[in-house]
């Protein structure tokens, strides 16, 4: 019944390090910084803060996509760059020295262009806007810290994650790891409305804290596809292979752009509420060319070039997922220290030196016709004969394509993916 259901989870496990190093003056300076972060900013700067980090978040999204593409091979890709960047930005509240610098660099934040405080204010505002209960799309983005009840967190860190990231702090019994694992999995299952179950098989025996970030999105097309028009069709995996899919169809006016330079079609399908899906269909053999050009300037050019145009649109129903070892991805992107015994997370806890042991990310998407009761209406459209005009283009998403789900209020990329095989539900 849903037109798009997107779920995503980032899991960060923090464990005791084998060794540590400290610098008292540096730590005192960082404590002063955190004291600055504690206070709430004025309304005007809060309202503008998210604008300052939009480009950085977009740069991170495309950089992470390229890293995923290298490892995914010929498989479906689906993830939430916003979930990942939110979680690591929250963790950076407790990072110090080079560990903090690497996190900022990995998330594509340049402190010569903005202050550290503005980064956290930006995420704070994005969370406020996305979680607005008045929105027509069902969207929730949130964070939780599961903390070993023996671990004493610094008050500044706790205040920061609570004030800026609205994180829940949940005391857990990490002396009983199976019970703690069960508790975390139950939380994840609840927040993702039962779609992600038993994500964690076990916890590291040295685990002291688990940071969870989740995003749940359920949107309905402004103009749903008619289920009676959905039919079996072939989806071309490559030159020789194809799979059968349920292909949806619409003949309507959409925002469309033809990029002749990159040889691809771009079609925007709006959701009710201020969100939209952007589907990118490369010509045969042009996928790599389009992916290589996938940067924020390219997408900005696409969205600015969109024009209303009648098209025949074929789009497959699909349900795909992606699971990623974010630790491995970040290490290849140059963020290494936070996962090592050199990690400086001294802003998190005063009595135990920590490092990140695991960072897991899972996302799920389901795209279909959208059949709410209100939308289950038979409509007959009568249009004038158009013999004097060329027929509308037939854009068939019957071969691998890219997709992005964007929130227009915050101009954030909520999800990114590549559909290589819509019939393959497993990542």
Closest among 86, 169, 204 to 349, alpha carbons compared: 169
Lowest mean pLDDT among 30-39, 205-214, 384-393: 30-39
Check pLDDT > 80 for residue 384. no
d(CA 76, CA 419): 5
CA angle (245, 247, 251) in 5-degree steps: 170
d(CA 404, CA 394): 21
How distant is the alpha carbon of residue 279 from its chain centre? 16
d(CA 382, CA 415): 36
Average pLDDT over residues 195-211: 82
Per-residue pLDDT, 65: 96
Per-residue pLDDT, 213: 82
d(CA 339, CA 332): 12
> Is the pLDDT higher at 415 or at 374?
415
Q: Which two tokens stand for residue 274?
A: 């201020």
Per-residue burial over 72-108, b if 16 or more Cβ lie within 10 Å, else e, is: beebbbbbbbbbbbbbbbbbbbbbbbebbebbbebbb
Percent of the chain topping pLDDT 90: 47
Check pLDDT > 80 for residue 75. yes
80 and 403 Cβ atoms separated by less than 8 Å: no
Helix (H) or strand (E) holding 334: none
How distant is the alpha carbon of residue 390 from its chain centre? 40
Beta-carbon contacts of residue 212 (< 8 Å; ≥ 6 apart) = 9, 10, 11, 12, 143, 144, 145, 146, 184, 187, 188
Check pLDDT > 70 for residue 23. no
DSSP strand E in 93-206: where? 138-148, 168-172
Neighbours of 386 (CB within 10 A): 10
241 burial (CB, 10 Å; 0-12 / 13-18 / 19+) is exposed
d(CA 276, CA 236): 26
In this prediction, residue 391 has a pLDDT band, given cuts at 50, 70 and 90, of confident
Q: Which two tokens stand for residue 184?
A: 């975390």
347 and 115 Cβ atoms separated by less than 8 Å: no
Mean pLDDT highest for which of 10-19, 20-29, 242-251? 242-251
Which pairs count as long-range contacts for 370-377, CB under 8 Å and 24+ apart, including other chains? 370/1, 370/2, 370/3, 370/4, 370/220, 370/221, 370/224, 370/225, 371/1, 371/224, 371/227, 372/1, 372/220, 372/224, 375/220, 375/224
Average pLDDT over residues 284-300: 96
Per-residue pLDDT, 389: 54
Average pLDDT over residues 273-301: 95
Check pLDDT > 70 for residue 304. yes
Could you identify the residue written with the tokens 């400290």? Answer: 22
Check pLDDT > 90 for residue 422. yes
Check pLDDT > 60 for residue 420. yes
Give tens-digit pLDDT for 204-235.
888 888 888 888 888 889 889 999 999 999 99
d(CA 147, CA 133): 29
Mean pLDDT highest for which of 12-21, 166-175, 366-375, 418-427? 166-175
332 and 102 Cβ atoms separated by less than 8 Å: no
Helix (H) or strand (E) holding 152: none
159 and 135 Cβ atoms separated by less than 8 Å: no
Beta-carbon contacts of residue 255 (< 8 Å; ≥ 6 apart) = 267, 268, 270, 306, 307, 308, 309
Check pLDDT > 90 for residue 368. no
At 356, give phi and psi (nearest 5°): -85, 125
d(CA 191, CA 139): 11
> Is the pLDDT higher at 13 or at 138?
138
Percent of the chain topping pLDDT 70: 83
DSSP strand E in 333-391: where? 354-367
Look at strands 4-16 and 354-367 and give their pairing: antiparallel
Per-residue pLDDT, 189: 86
d(CA 304, CA 164): 32
Domains and CATH numbers, the chain: 4-219+320-366 (3.30.497.10), 227-317+378-419 (2.30.39.10)
Check pLDDT > 90 for residue 336. yes
Which 8-state DSSP code applies to residue 25? H
Residue 145's SS3 state is strand
Average pLDDT over residues 48-52: 82
Mean pLDDT for the chain overall:
83
Check pLDDT > 90 for residue 98. yes
Check pLDDT > 90 for residue 306. yes
């Amino acid at each position: 019944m849903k037109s798009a259901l997107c779920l995503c989870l980032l899991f960060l496990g923090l464990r005791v390090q084998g060794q540590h190093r400290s610098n008292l003056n540096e730590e005192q300076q960082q404590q002063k910084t955190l004291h600055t972060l504690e206070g709430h900013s004025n309304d005007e700067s809060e309202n503008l803060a998210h604008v300052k980090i939009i480009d950085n978040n977009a740069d991170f999204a495309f950089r992470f996509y390229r890293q995923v593409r290298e490892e995914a091979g010929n498989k479906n890709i689906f993830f939430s760059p916003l979930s990942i960047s939110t979680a690591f930005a929250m963790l950076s509240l407790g990072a110090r020295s080079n560990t903090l610098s690497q996190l900022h660099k990995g998330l594509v934040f340049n402190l010569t262009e903005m202050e550290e405080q503005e980064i956290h204010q930006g995420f704070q505002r994005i969370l406020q806007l996305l979680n607005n209960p008045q929105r027509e799309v069902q969207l929730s983005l949130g964070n939780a810290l599961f903390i070993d009840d023996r671990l004493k967190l610094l008050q500044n860190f706790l205040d920061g994650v609570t004030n800026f990231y609205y994180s829940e702090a949940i005391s857990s019994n990490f002396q009983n790891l199976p019970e703690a694992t069960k508790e975390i999995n139950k939380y994840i299952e609840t927040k993702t409305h039962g779609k992600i179950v038993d994500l964690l098989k076990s916890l590291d025996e040295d685990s002291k804290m688990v940071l969870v970030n989740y995003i749940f999105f359920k949107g309905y097309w402004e103009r749903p596809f008619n289920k009676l028009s959905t039919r079996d069709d072939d989806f071309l995996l490559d030159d020789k292979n194809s799979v059968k899919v349920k292909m949806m169809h619409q003949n309507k006016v959409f925002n469309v752009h033809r990029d002749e330079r990159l040889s691809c079609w771009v079609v925007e399908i709006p959701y009710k509420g201020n969100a939209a899906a952007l589907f990118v269909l490369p010509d045969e053999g042009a996928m790599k060319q389009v992916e290589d050009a996938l940067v924020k300037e390219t997408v900005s050019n696409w969205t600015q070039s969109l024009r209303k145009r009648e098209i025949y649109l074929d789009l497959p129903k699909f349900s795909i997922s992606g699971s990623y070892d974010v630790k491995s991805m970040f290490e290849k992107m140059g963020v290494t220290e936070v996962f090592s015994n050199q990690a400086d997370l001294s802003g998190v806890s005063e009595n135990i030196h920590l490092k990140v042991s695991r960072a897991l990310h899972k996302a799920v998407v389901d795209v279909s016709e959208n059949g709410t009761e209100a939308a289950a209406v038979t409509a007959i459209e009568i249009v004038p004969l158009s013999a004097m005009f060329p027929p509308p283009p037939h854009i068939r998403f019957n071969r691998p394509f890219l997709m992005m789900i964007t929130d227009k209020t915050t101009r954030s990329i909520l999800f990114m993916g590549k559909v290589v095989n819509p019939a393959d539900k497993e990542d």
